[in-house]
Structure 1
Amino acid sequence: MMDSPRVGARIKYSGFNGTIRYVGPVENANGTWLGVEWDDPRRGKHDGSKDGRRYFSCRSACAGSFVRANSHVQYGMPFLQALSEKYVEEPHGNDAHEIVVLGSVGNVQVEAVGLDKVRSRLSRLDRLKVVSLDGTLVAFPDTRGKIRETCPNIRDLDLSFTLVSSWASVAHIASELPLLQRLSLNRLRLFSLERDGAFSSAFLNLTEIQLNGTLLSWPEVNGIITQMPALRGLEMGYNHLSSLSTGGGSDPRGPHPTLQTLNLENNELAEWTIIASSICIMPSVETLNVSSNGVKSIQPPVEALSLWCPKLKNLSVSDIPLNSHPQSRSLIIARFPNLVTLDGTLISERERRDSEMLYLTQLAREGIVGMAPNSTPFRWEELCKLHGPPGEEVKPKDDNLSSRLITVYTVFGDVPPVGRAVAQSGDSVPLSILPTMPLRTLRNKLKKTHGKGRGTVQVWIKMRDGTWAELGQGDDSNSLDWLGIENDSHILYRLKTS
């Protein structure tokens, strides 16, 4: 713990984290005061000025306030102290019986034996592989060598919302964890970017890093991740980023040859060209989240992103103009041949087929094909070979009830399925249903189809790999198409009587 406050130190006060920007007297007030810039501006009252005098400056206009330097101010502690306080429980010294209280209201008491042995096994810090110190008072590393000696097997470390304030401290801690692969530094304020000898070798094995809500700039992050050659996942959400420029003449391609996951959600990247020009130098990206950035228009067109990122499998683009068209989801799917999920929802084989056919139909209706010599719309030839060219005159489907029905194949089972094995009674029976009906209605229909017995109807759907997945009662209000039930799906059901 700190003996006395100093400017630049990180503190926690009444659950809020902040940085000391001033230590000393305040006019018309007794005692020593701390001028604090709070991480959450809602905790502040001003920008560092009081009664016409400026004591310090803040990044945000209302992030500053003064607090007394008293015992309520919590200062940082070494890494191993915070680790021990969270993960080590001292033996109670009682080898006989202990009373353990269970239940949310403490109404169950159990007599237990030998809990000190359990505590001893759980307090082996050298066995820890996943460690979360989120919200603790960690501020700086221990004497060099101590962390490696105490907990060398940590692979996943969360230092989010702690009091760590410099990359040098982060690098020192990481350099003593040779197996570290995932590092979370969300909501930190890493003001100091100085580097020492540990920096060059601290992050050699790191594959994922989270920097959400840190307010770091893109050039700062680029400078850091050049030291992470194995990096595959980067999260930079909620950082008020308005630019992805590296801010210099250095080639920005260097840091990103292995990057597969990039999360830029909830920033201020209002220009699509800013996003596109940065993504195009990351050809290995498979998962991209650019939701909620305030993008006003899309230029260059969205298919350019598909060409730049041919491995893209998961895309989140909610709240940007890609979704302004009434059939936008289908048109996006058609432009990304390898996409598996869009805005967090799985793309079924049927949805992809329908989306690609809709895309072909729209191009034919708009008369785009053949307008320019030696030029065809994106994926036109590929999709025409796959689905056949659309007719010259596209006729809308009949919008009656029968045209919207799908056929599923149902089979009654005496016992729940095990893996791919099913003990069925009788042959499968085709059943015509509306894909928009809720699962609850299907349960009732299956019960009537069976015609006998009482009990709850359990339902399973056959997956692509041949296994069976149960649809629980929590899904009863969801529609069948939402649950992935489509034409030619196979359904197993049984009556559970107890």
Structure 2
Amino acid sequence: MRVPDQTQPTTMHECLPSDAVGKRVACDGERGTVRFVGTVPPTAGLWLGVEWDNPDRGKHDGSHEGVHYFTCRHPKGGSFVRPKKASFGVDYLTAIRRRYEMEVQQVLGEEIQISTRTVEMVGFEAITEKQKVENLTDVALRLCEVSSPGPPNEIRNTTPHVLMLDLCGNLLCCWDDVMAVTEQMEELKELQLSHNRLRVPSNPTVRPRAFSCLRVLSLTNCALTWPQLLECAPMWPLLEELYASENDITELQKPNDVLQSLTVLDLSTNPLVDGAVLSIGELPRLENLNMSKTGLSTLRFDDAMPGCKTAMFPALKSLAVNSNNISEWSVINELEKLQSLVRLSCRQNPLLSQERNPGTAMQLLIARVGRLEALNRWTVLPEDRRGAELDYCKMFGLEWLASGGHRDPQQNRPSAEFTTQHPRYQSLIQKYGAPEDSELKKQEPFALKNQLLSESFSLLLSLIDTVHNARTQFAMQNADPV
């Protein structure tokens, strides 16, 4: 493998940042990171070797004609582009002026005509006042190619009252640049940074005021690992909601002394190994956890016997495990050990498709997890729970009797195997009494099934109305002027 020639023609080099390698660029609507600057023989002139966020934009792994110029995470995630085709972005203040001040100027520069009369723009002074940059509390600069903060302290003078900042899909290359922006926003509570690629800071606490009030942080699709998140976590001492879906998180380590204020955590669409979730089970305030599309297939809380509650996830109320590989009811039995769980979403799992009747699967879920108030977005009414639990008792009554169960409480000793498979059965017998012999057969859950079908039909009608209204609005907005 030959060593690449890094000679750079001075005429082309002058139009590049001195530290171009590692910078973020945009080209034809795609974003990437510069990994190489130099010549690529036999062609003349300077090239940028770019690793693209979207590997489909690339062509190779950083090699050309046997020479390896740079390295990519994806075998076809890189390509070479001419410097003149790449944008290195603009500073925050330039983006603000383009996004907000120009909008106001355009509005004020327009003449409004009705029929043949020009209408005086009464009240637009109030609109202008509201739109003034210094009054903004929500700043949306998504896909605006922001790459740097701009002149020192100017952000504090320009947008001092920002509560929510959206910088998704921009060209910031490191957390230091982000902190240089946010430390000038002393009231900032929500920060959207999804679809960026940010280097971990060498000293996360060097700017303690940068995120001193931050409560909500979105880092979807940022190519982050869990250790990298933990390295950054000291920057967010008061963080309550963290959205980290579509990253490179495979294993989870225990967050020691960080993330202790989290109430919401989204880890969906990360290739987690089974059992990884247990590492975050001691987060004391976590109420809402999204583990959808993580490959989850097994779960065990070994600190609690069947029918008992685990000490893990003490505050967890809502759990989403959609589109996973759950195929055993034992996983649902483990969820019953969660002491605060009241909302569960587990759509698109093999476990549910095994049941010929979707209503039966829903009933089994309700019966096995005793405190559910909502399942797969449907409210579990008291009559639904009663019907599900009674049918569950009848459905497994023969198995209960065969395992040593008995209607006489003095002789009721079901096997450990049955208790493991049906940890709530004994408590349900105490609640409703043992089923009679004539009831020991599988029951079709007509009531719940009919309710679900009715609600599904109502939802379908609502969706149809929504689509119709959206099409009508789109047609009106795009209609030619009369």
Q: TM-score, normalised by structure 2?
A: 0.72
* Higher helix residue share: 2
Partner SS for 2:22: coil
Q: 1:230 to 1:350 in 2, by over 3 A?
A: farther
CA contact (8 A) 2:265 2:289 kept: yes
Question: AA paired with 2:462?
Answer: D
CA distance in 2, matches of 1:20, 1:48: 11
Structure 1 residue aligned with 2:236? 228
Structure 1 residue aligned with 2:174? 166
Alignment of 1:68-79 (within 5 A): 68-70=82-84, 72-79=85-92
After TM superposition, give the deviation of residue 384 of structure 1 in Å.
4.3
After TM superposition, give the deviation of residue 325 of structure 1 in Å.
4.6
CA distance in 2, matches of 1:55, 1:349: 65
Alignment of 1:294-333 (within 5 A): 294-299=295-300, 301-302=330-331, 303-307=333-337, 309-321=338-350, 323=352, 325-326=354-355, 327-333=360-366
CA contact (8 A) 1:19 1:36 kept: yes
What percentage of residue pairs aligned between the two structures are identical? 29
Alignment of 1:129-148 (within 5 A): 129-148=137-156
After TM superposition, give the deviation of residue 67 of structure 1 in Å.
0.7
Equivalent of 1:213 in 217, 221, 224: 221
Question: AA paired with 1:134?
Answer: R
Deviations 1:327-358 (A, max 9, x none): 44333333444444334444344333333334
Structure 1 residue aligned with 2:476? none
CA contact (8 A) 2:200 2:228 kept: no
Q: 1:191 to 1:315 in 2, by over 3 A?
A: farther
CA distance in 1, matches of 2:220, 2:37: 30
Structure 1 residue aligned with 2:95? 82
Uncovered stretches (5+) of structure 1, i.e. residues with no partner: 102-106, 407-433, 442-470, 479-498
Equivalent of 2:423 in 361, 378, 386: 378
Deviations 1:169-193 (A, max 9, x none): 2222222222222211111111243
Structure 1 residue aligned with 2:374? 341
CA distance in 2, matches of 1:225, 1:339: 32
CA distance in 2, matches of 1:134, 1:88: 16
Alignment of 1:282-301 (within 5 A): 282-299=283-300, 301=330
CA contact (8 A) 2:148 2:172 kept: yes
Q: TM-score, normalised by structure 1?
A: 0.70
After TM superposition, give the deviation of residue 20 of structure 1 in Å.
0.7
Root mean square deviation, CA, Å: 3.8
Q: 1:116 to 1:240 in 2, by over 3 A?
A: same
CA distance in 2, matches of 1:373, 1:53: 62
Deviations 1:279-316 (A, max 9, x none): 42234332222122223445554343443x43334433
Q: 1:129 to 1:360 in 2, by over 3 A?
A: farther
CA distance in 1, matches of 2:121, 2:38: 55
CA distance in 2, matches of 1:236, 1:260: 14
Q: 1:176 to 1:60 in 2, by over 3 A?
A: same
Structure 1 residue aligned with 2:468? none
Q: Does 1:117 align with 2:125?
A: yes
Q: 1:93 to 1:205 in 2, by over 3 A?
A: closer
After TM superposition, give the deviation of residue 74 of structure 1 in Å.
1.5
Q: Does 1:177 align with 2:172?
A: no
CA contact (8 A) 2:24 2:171 kept: yes
After TM superposition, give the deviation of residue 99 of structure 1 in Å.
2.8
Deviations 1:103-122 (A, max 9, x none): xxxx9998452576255324
Structure 2 residue aligned with 1:56? 70
CA distance in 2, matches of 1:236, 1:93: 38
CA contact (8 A) 1:46 1:63 kept: yes
Partner SS for 1:45: coil
Structure 1 residue aligned with 2:279? 278
CA distance in 1, matches of 2:461, 2:73: 46
Structure 2 residue aligned with 1:15? 29
After TM superposition, give the deviation of residue 98 of structure 1 in Å.
1.1
Alignment of 1:456-471 (within 5 A): none
CA contact (8 A) 1:298 1:321 kept: no
Q: Does 1:261 align with 2:264?
A: yes
Structure 2 residue aligned with 1:449? none
After TM superposition, give the deviation of residue 36 of structure 1 in Å.
0.5
Q: Does 1:29 align with 2:43?
A: yes
Partner SS for 2:214: coil
Structure 2 residue aligned with 1:104? none
CA distance in 2, matches of 1:162, 1:330: 47
Question: AA paired with 1:98?
Answer: E
CA contact (8 A) 1:96 1:114 kept: no
Deviations 1:376-424 (A, max 9, x none): 853445544554444465345887xxx9589xxxxxxxxxxxxxxxxxx
CA contact (8 A) 1:156 1:182 kept: yes
CA contact (8 A) 2:255 2:280 kept: no
Q: 1:93 to 1:393 in 2, by over 3 A?
A: closer
Deviates more, 1:295-304 or 1:211-220: 295-304
CA distance in 1, matches of 2:395, 2:380: 20
Partner SS for 1:224: helix
Partner SS for 1:88: helix
Question: AA paired with 1:147?
Answer: I
CA distance in 2, matches of 1:133, 1:265: 25
After TM superposition, give the deviation of residue 194 of structure 1 in Å.
2.4
